[in-house]
Amino acid sequence: MKPKLTPQAIVARTACRADLAGGTTDIWPLYLFHPGACVVNIALEIMTTCRITPLAGRGIRLISLDTRREDSFASLDGLLAASRYSHPLAAHLVRFFRPEAGFVLETHSEAPAGAGISGSSALMIATTAALARLCGEVLSKEEIRAIAQNVEAQLIRVPTGCQDYYPALYGGVGVLRLDPDGVHREAIDVSLDEVDRRYVLAYTGAPRQSGINNWKVFKAHIDGSRKVFRNFERIGEIARAMHSALSRSAWDDAALLLREEWKLRRTNAPAITTPLIDRLIAVARRNGGLAGKVCGAGGGGCVIFQVEPDAQSRVERALAAAGAEVLPFAVCRHGLTVDESRVLQA
């Protein structure tokens, strides 16, 4: 019998994201009530990784390297019978794909816990792609997105938006057009080197409450709040204008829009900000910052700042002195990657 090539390991990597405008409108069906709704976001060189190593036998191990949590099962049947998991993200995706052979699945995220930069959603994309490869399934990017988003909704038990998954799939700076016939992602033609020079990212040290804040706003909208509806109409206008500003490299316009977006978002959900977030935005403004807003649903997590190009280092030092953890800011130039190494086996 001739030796055959057998997978040694499958490694999928994806990027986290920072949103500039339009967030929360990406939750179905909110965007259907606001024609022209869109989201503008940036893929960050803050990565998540899923590595799967096939094993002889039927045993399954799920390991989260950054949170130091682990599950072990004698077989897929054992995993399916369990009622609780230490690594639920991986376990729920394994439940979906149901691979028959044994394996070790390891995940790692460079994002701080609860940072609001879609670390969990990016990891859902990476893990979905790796498990699909393990099972021999060929999925389109949109199919990967749908599985990752739907399984994450099962995990957090509230509606999820779609914007978090696209930077992980495509990288770069993009706009998501949220239309009745689906979500359409387009790359924004802007210098990524300029974007790298003009933004700062800082973690407050407090995890955000993504599902809670988004659910409150979602419910208020569905319940007919006129104020929330008007705010979302304006947020849609701001997002479209942000797309235009970035496409024209109109940085002053972009800063003005970022400030206005944050002002409106604060009125949707008072818990979106904290005294520390307000202090960090004020500190940044005194040191060359032009605008700032919370990433994601707020209540903690990360804040993104637009700054003068020559003020980036000064703003970073001031934020660190004010108690924030400054994270490296760079646009991830590529989307999802899945690599597979193989060895000869008799």
Reported as a single tens digit per residue, the pLDDT across 258-281 is 999 999 888 766 667 888 999 999
**CB < 8 Å & 24+ apart, contacts of 249-257:** 249/190, 249/191, 249/194, 251/194, 251/198, 251/306, 252/290, 254/20, 254/306, 255/290, 255/291, 255/306, 256/291, 257/21
Whether residue 140 sits in one domain with residue 172: yes
Whether residue 211 sits in one domain with residue 168: no
Q: Is 220 helix (H, G, I), strand (E, B) or coil?
A: helix
* Angstrom distance (rounded) from CA 142 to CA 132: 13
pLDDT at 125 over 90: yes
Whether residue 274 sits in one domain with residue 255: yes
pLDDT at 207 over 60: no
Whether residue 29 is preceded by a cis peptide bond, meaning omega within 30 degrees of 0, is yes
Whether residue 269 sits in one domain with residue 157: no
pLDDT of res. 14: 98
Whichever domain contains 40, its CATH number is 3.30.230.10
pTM for the model = 0.92
Whichever domain contains 288, its CATH number is 3.30.70.890
Encode burial over 58-89: b for 16+ CB neighbours within 10 A, e otherwise: bbbbbbbebeebebebeebeebeeeeebbbbb
**Residues spanned by the domain of 94:** 4-185+333-345
| Structure tokens that stand for 20 in this block | 């500039």
Mean pLDDT estimate for the chain: 91
pLDDT at 136 over 60: yes
| Structure tokens that stand for 159 in this block | 């509606």
Whether residue 176 sits in one domain with residue 37: yes
Cβ within 8 Å of residue 53, ≥6 positions away: 8, 9, 10, 103, 104, 106
